[in-house]
């Protein structure tokens, strides 16, 4: 019986013969070996010079009084360090080519998140206790779609132009946001006013040197109340290649609210947005928690190549929130019970994160 010869697909790229692939691999290994030898010679030559220089003078950069000579020595030390690092990299690359990736695994880049100190309140993916708390907390009516977000927004007395510009663009991000003039009303009176008109949240923006500085967010009618510091504000016209937002229900994305405190803050911020986004509007609001800073971004999807790919066009505003306090109930500085208060000593260990 004659076996049929296997034919290659016309559209598939032709495979290289094995002997050609082996030849190319050998050439690459020889090239790397040459680079390693050359780098080793340079290192040994520079090392002998440095050893002779150190033995002769025994001077470190810190002991040098001449600034120019000191800078030259530091520059040469950095250059030598870079050569050693390059030599190690080339050797690892050669080992991977000869023995495979498993012989010399690639390291993981250390970041604050990867070296994060373990937090006891870290939430697992499925936690029955958390689910039970969610069913009885202050936001359960919103997540059960029994209420629709409606926010009352005020400022400090006599706000400046910079605050009004920020509020104007914030209204394009959060739907159902209604601004009222503060006048001489106290904060407790404003909260009672909002309760009587069935608002779900009160947002107060305070300024410092003509720019928004603090945000107080109080969920009605039973709280909680959070205080945030606002920083890194960039308005629509300050963003390159920006788009213009339209009044629509945006999609909401929450990232990295992993602790009990972060989970509570995430639910509080989610309660500002309607649960039924208009996906045809293609607008999305992202609240990304990283190193206890909440980065707020507003984008629009742009579909290209017949819907096979999507780009993001930033609409603005762009700003960052830092949690300062979280308090039970509505705003009460005198008798209020605080769940969380941030103070300066909490920032000494940068690997200790709370949100």
Do 93 and 133 belong together in one domain? no
d(CA 104, CA 101): 6
Do 183 and 313 belong together in one domain? yes
Quickly count helices (H) and strands (E) in the chain.
7, 11
Residue 279: per-residue pLDDT: 82
The sign of the torsion formed by the CA atoms of 235, 237, 238, 242 equals: positive
Residue 304: per-residue pLDDT: 82
At 8 the three-state DSSP class reads: coil
pLDDT tens over the chain, length 355 residues: 444 434 444 444 455 565 566 667 777 777 777 777 777 776 666 666 555 555 555 678 888 888 898 899 999 999 989 988 888 888 888 888 888 888 788 878 888 888 888 888 888 777 788 888 888 899 999 999 899 999 999 999 999 999 999 999 999 999 999 999 999 999 989 999 999 999 999 999 999 999 999 999 999 999 899 999 999 999 999 999 999 998 889 999 999 999 999 999 999 999 999 988 888 889 999 999 999 999 999 999 988 877 778 899 999 899 999 999 999 988 887 788 999 999 988 888 888 999 8
Q: Is residue 68 part of a domain?
A: yes
d(CA 283, CA 316): 11
pTM of the model: 0.74
Specify which residues 287 forms β-bridges with: 254, 296
Do 316 and 170 belong together in one domain? yes
Q: How many domains does the chain have?
A: 2
- Give the structural domain span for 183: 128-347
| Torsional class of 234: left (φ above 0), alpha (ψ -120 to 50), beta (otherwise) | beta
Do 68 and 191 belong together in one domain? no
Which residues neighbour 32 within 8 Å (Cβ) at sequence distance 6 or greater? 90, 93, 94, 97
Phi, psi of 214 (to 5 degrees): -135, 140
Q: Is residue 110 part of a domain?
A: no
- For residues 280 and 301, the answer to whether their CB atoms sit within 8 Å is no
DSSP states of 92-140: HHHHHHHH-GGGSPPPPPP-TTTTPPP-TTBPPSS-HHHHHHHTTSTTH
Report, in this order, helix, strand and coil percent for the chain, each rounded to 5. 40, 25, 40
DSSP states of 31-81: HHHHHHHHHHHHHHHHHHHHHHHHHHH---GGG---HHHHHHHHHHHHHHH
Do 86 and 154 belong together in one domain? no
Biggest CA–CA distance in the chain, Å, is 100
Do 86 and 226 belong together in one domain? no
Residue 107: per-residue pLDDT: 78
Q: Is residue 201 part of a domain?
A: yes
- For residues 326 and 226, the answer to whether their CB atoms sit within 8 Å is yes
Q: Is residue 113 part of a domain?
A: no
Residue 2: per-residue pLDDT: 40
Residue 12: per-residue pLDDT: 43
């Amino acid at each position: 019986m004659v076996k049929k010869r296997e034919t290659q697909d016309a559209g598939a790229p032709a495979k290289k013969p094995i002997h050609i692939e082996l030849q190319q691999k050998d050439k690459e290994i020889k090239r790397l070996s040459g680079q390693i030898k050359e780098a080793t010679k340079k290192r040994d030559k520079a090392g002998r010079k440095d050893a002779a220089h150190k033995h002769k003078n025994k001077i470190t950069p810190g002991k040098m009084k001449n600034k120019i000579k000191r800078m030259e020595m530091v520059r040469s030390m950095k250059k030598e360090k870079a050569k050693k690092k390059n030599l190690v990299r080339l050797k690892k690359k050669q080992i991977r080519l000869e023995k495979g990736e498993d012989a010399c695994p690639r390291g993981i880049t250390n970041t604050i998140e990867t070296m994060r100190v373990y937090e006891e309140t870290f939430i697992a993916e499925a936690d029955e206790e958390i689910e039970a708390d969610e069913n009885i907390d202050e936001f359960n009516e919103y997540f059960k779609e029994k209420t629709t977000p409606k926010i009352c927004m005020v400022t400090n007395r006599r706000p400046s132009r910079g605050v009004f510009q920020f509020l104007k663009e914030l209204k394009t991000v959060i739907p159902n946001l209604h601004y009222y003039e503060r006048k001489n009303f106290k904060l407790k009176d404003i909260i009672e006013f909002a309760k009587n008109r069935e608002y779900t949240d009160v947002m107060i923006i305070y300024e410092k040197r003509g720019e928004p500085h603090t945000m107080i967010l109080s969920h009605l009618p039973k709280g909680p109340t959070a205080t945030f510091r606002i920083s890194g504000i960039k308005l629509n016209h300050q963003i390159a290649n920006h788009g213009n937002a339209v009044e629509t229900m945006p999609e909401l994305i929450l990232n990295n609210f992993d602790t009990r405190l972060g989970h509570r803050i995430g639910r509080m911020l989610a309660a500002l947005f309607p649960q039924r986004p208009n996906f045809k509007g293609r607008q999305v609001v992202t609240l990304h928690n990283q190193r206890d800073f909440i980065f707020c971004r507003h984008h629009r999807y742009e579909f290209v190549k017949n819907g096979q790919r999507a780009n993001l066009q930033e609409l603005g505003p762009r700003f960052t929130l830092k949690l300062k306090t979280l308090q039970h109930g509505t705003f009460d500085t005198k008798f209020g019970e605080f769940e969380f208060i941030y103070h300066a000593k909490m920032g000494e260990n940068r690997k200790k994160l709370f949100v």
